[in-house]
Each structure stands twice: as structure tokens, then as C-alpha cells.
Amino acid sequence: MNKMTMVLISCLLAVGVQARTWTKTDGSTLEGDLFSIQEKSVRIKVVKQDPVEVIKIKQLSAEDQAYIAKQKKERAEKKESRADVPKDRTAKWVTDVETAKAEAKEYQLPILLLYTAPAWCGYCRDLDEQLITQDEFQAYANQNLVLFLVDLSDRDAGKEWEANNTALVEACPIKGFPHTYLLSPDAKNLGSVQYYEPTWSIQDYIDKIEFLRMK
């Protein structure tokens, strides 16, 4: 396990994600969050583990299957209630919280806050290359996110920024770099969103965003 993964795990655990206990038909159990539901399987982020586990729905207990069916219906209803976003919208990184909040309220989209310092943080540059600049992530962001970038490469300027944004920093602590949070349109913290390279796919990251968005 590399240093980046260890840092990100500690940040996620600090958020205190509440997991569900799942029971398989063979009697075994696991603790995890229901990230996404496919036609015949579910994707579950197991507590204290990096990978997302794919489990066939028929391998889970009747109680779990009923829970999945309810979640599938509720999630579909929430997606239908989302405000229309122009199909030609291109999500661009903004650097001012008020600008991010205004755009988020206009489209009723969550804000993805990224703390980064690419001038001296190699992990931040890795995140840019492996996730942020990828077409799959950009296509999702165009319809689903307001992107808010806080570049703290300059330590003195970073301290000044923190002093001018104390409420945001208190709600979304800077716990190493890079670090991302999902915020509501009015900038309330919905949870930490980390990319566990190389064990996560971009879809895993998107599923975590959708999981927090649905809570």
C-alpha cells in the first residue's frame, strides 16, 4: 500500500461513513456502503478496504434484496427530480466559493471541492493525470458537478486563503493533499471523496459521489 493510499484511507475514516451489514446466502456477512445498482449486481464499498466489491444480487439475503429494490426506486426518483442541465454544459474549475455556490444553485448540482498543491505535491499531479483530466470524469462532471479548485501551492497565499475562508475550512478540513469533498449547493459538507489509485476505477470514484449525493 503506497503512502497516498494510506493518507486517503485515514481521511475517509475520519468522516465516519455509516455502513450497512450485508448477508450472503452462504451466511457470510460484510460491512459496506451500497455504491451503485446494476441489473443483476451491486457494487459495495467494503469498510476498511480500498476495492469496491461487485456482488450478484441473487447471492444476497431476501432482506438485502428487498433493501436494494427500495434503494433502486428511491434513487431513480431522486435522479428524476434533478434540475435540467444543458446538454452542452462544460464543467470548468472555479476558484471562488461564491461563484461555485451560484453555479450549483443555478443547476441544483453538488460542488466537488478539490484541495491541491500541484507545484510541490506529486500525488496532486498524479490525481490530475489519472482522474481529473480523463474524458470519463469530465463527461460525468459536465452534467453532474460544479468543480471548485483550491490550489494551495503557495504556502503563504494558502494561509491567507484559509484565514479568509474559516467557515469552509472548519467544515471541510485540509487533511493532506490532494483531498476532495462533495458539498451541497449551499456548500455544506456531504462527505469526503477520495480516489484510491490504483485500486479504484474512475467509475468507483463517480459511484462514491453518487452515493453521497443520494444520502
* Tens place of pLDDT per residue across the chain (215 aa): 333 333 333 333 333 345 889 999 999 999 998 988 989 999 898 887 777 889 999 999 999 999 999 989 988 887 776 778 999 999 999 999 999 999 999 999 999 999 999 999 999 999 999 999 999 999 999 999 999 999 999 999 999 999 999 999 999 999 889 999 999 998 999 999 888 766 788 998 999 999 898 87
Q: Which CATH architecture has domain 97-214?
A: 3-Layer(aba) Sandwich (3.40)
- Provide the β-strand partners of residue 112: 147, 182
The correct answer on CATH 3.10.450.50 for the domain covering 3-80 is no
CA–CA gap between residue 213 and residue 191 (Å, rounded):
9
Instruction: Give the domain ranges of the chain.
Output: 3-80, 97-214
